[in-house]
Amino acid sequence: MLCPCKSQKPFNECCQPIITYKLKAQSPEQLMRSRYSAYATKQAQYIFETYALSSQKEQSIDDIANWAEQCRWTGLTILNTLASTSMPTVEFIAYYVQGNSLYQLHEVSRFIQEDSHWRYLDGDIKSHHMVQKLSRNDPCPCASNKKFKRCCDLSP
Ligand SMILES: [Zn+2]
Ligand SMILES: [Zn+2]
């Protein structure tokens, strides 16, 4: 399986070893990609643990798991990374399907290092809105070449 983060690499050579703690994220972008892939594969524990300690207080694993359960993540585009500043950031657009709608989230995320691990601190949401309503026979937005109803449609 290709990595959900759209790197075009196999999952087990990209985000999976990071999500399973076999490898450490070497940069904010790697951490960001691994968190996206963790959402896509519903690894709520990992998502929680890669929040900065100060941000973990405002999070719950149940809430993260519920949110991951409701969404199918269908695309990620990294727009910009600033790795060498005192406050590294990654700007990205992520796409997900919820119900029968495709949404786009455009965020600039901030990262810090704690105990020599990159962690997600917080982010500025630039835009977060519905892109389109999907019909069951539409091509799936995840680019699988399948119809939506046979792919990322979670409706009963
Ligand atoms: Zn990946
Ligand atoms: Zn799909």
pLDDT of 137 strictly over 80: yes
- Closest ligand relative to 5 C-alpha: 1
Alpha helices in the chain (DSSP H): 16-19, 28-40, 44-49, 53-56, 61-70
φ, ψ at 57 (rounded to 5°): -60, -30
Structural domains of the chain, ranges and CATH numbers in brackets: 11-150 (3.10.450.50)
Q: What is the rounded CA–CA span in Å between residue 140 and residue 144?
A: 6
Query: pLDDT > 70: what percent of the chain?
Result: 100
Global pTM reads 0.94
pLDDT of 12 strictly over 80: yes
Q: What is the rounded CA–CA span in Å between residue 115 and residue 118?
A: 8
68-109 pLDDT per residue, tens: 999 999 999 999 999 777 889 999 999 999 999 999 999 999
pLDDT of 130 strictly over 90: yes
30: Cβ–Cβ under 8 A, 6 or more apart, which residues? 18, 118
Average pLDDT over residues 107-126: 96
Half-sphere exposure of 21 (CA within 13 A, CB side): 7
Q: What is the rounded CA–CA span in Å between residue 16 and residue 130?
A: 29
Whole-number Å distance, alpha carbon 57 to ligand 2 midpoint, is: 33
Whole-number Å distance, alpha carbon 138 to ligand 1 midpoint, is: 26
Whole-number Å distance, alpha carbon 82 to ligand 2 midpoint, is: 31
Residue 73: strand pairing partners: 96
Q: What's the chain's average pLDDT?
A: 95
Whole-number Å distance, alpha carbon 19 to ligand 1 midpoint, is: 10
